[in-house]
Amino acid sequence: MRIAILEDDLAQAGALESLLAGDGHQVHVFTRGRALLASLAVDSYDLLILDWGLPDLSGMEVLATARPWLKGRTPVLFLTQRDAEADVVLALEGGADDYITKPPREREFLSRVRALGRRAAVAPADAQTFVAGPFLIDVARQRIERDGVPVPLTRREFDVAVLFCRNVGKVLSRAHILEAVWGRGDCSTTRTVDTHVSRLRAALGLSADSGVRLTPVYGYGYRLDVAGSDRP
């Protein structure tokens, strides 16, 4: 998963980053609430991990600002020293999906992160075959069928299609798509993403009248919409 961590303690942030990276996640660290909010205006993540006490905005203020944009499609985990029941309740009622007190127990922390990812995605990252709208996806065999008919795609086109199909209804930023499909060190640009998206539109027959479409979101990225599957 692509995970944003909001944590002003650099040692703590570094420890979390290596723990999560070791479990196969791509981690982006923010040390100020405003910096994370600025990123969320143009970029998407699979999960947000928020500290409570920060020098500028509190984690709760960040959550209150970001929640309406995220529309419940990006899970939020609080990781904080505050362990009073009233704080846990405040965070959960304010829209957090889970709450862990510091220091986290490593295996429990990683399994909660995975559980949040499973709940948020249409298909968990480890599901090898799944359905999204008219598509049947077989990840291991790199095969995608539309209404029972296989659609030939290149490896990268297939990977982009799988990413969208796992995230039906969620806007994915170009940087998110680039990182998830091409990897962080790759020198492809967001233009590469646009090219692949337009080829996918043609290959998969994505258009408004087909009930499945890839909607561009100006200055941000794309969202796969499937008629009749409006998840909360």
Q: Which residues bind Ca ion (CB under 5 A)?
A: 8, 51, 53
CB-wise, 52 or 135, nearer to Ca ion? 52
CB of 53 to Ca ion, least distance (A): 4
CB-wise, 58 or 188, nearer to Ca ion? 58
CB-wise, 102 or 201, nearer to Ca ion? 102
Are the C-beta atoms of residues 31 and 8 closer than 8 Å to each other?
A: yes
Distance between CA atoms of 39 and 45, rounded to whole angstroms?
10
Distance between CA atoms of 111 and 106, rounded to whole angstroms?
9
CB of 88 to Ca ion, least distance (A): 17
Give, in order, the Cα–Cα distances in Å from 164 to each of 28, 41, 157, 159, 177. Answer: 21, 20, 11, 9, 9
CB-wise, 80 or 192, nearer to Ca ion? 80
Nearest to 132 by CA among 119, 116, 117, 121: 121
Return all residues near 58 (Cβ < 8 A) that are at least 6 apart: 33, 52
CB of 9 to Ca ion, least distance (A): 5
Give, in order, the Cα–Cα distances in Å from 33 to each of 2, 26, 56, 192, 195. Answer: 18, 20, 6, 31, 34
CB of 18 to Ca ion, least distance (A): 18
CB of 67 to Ca ion, least distance (A): 20
CB-wise, 10 or 64, nearer to Ca ion? 10
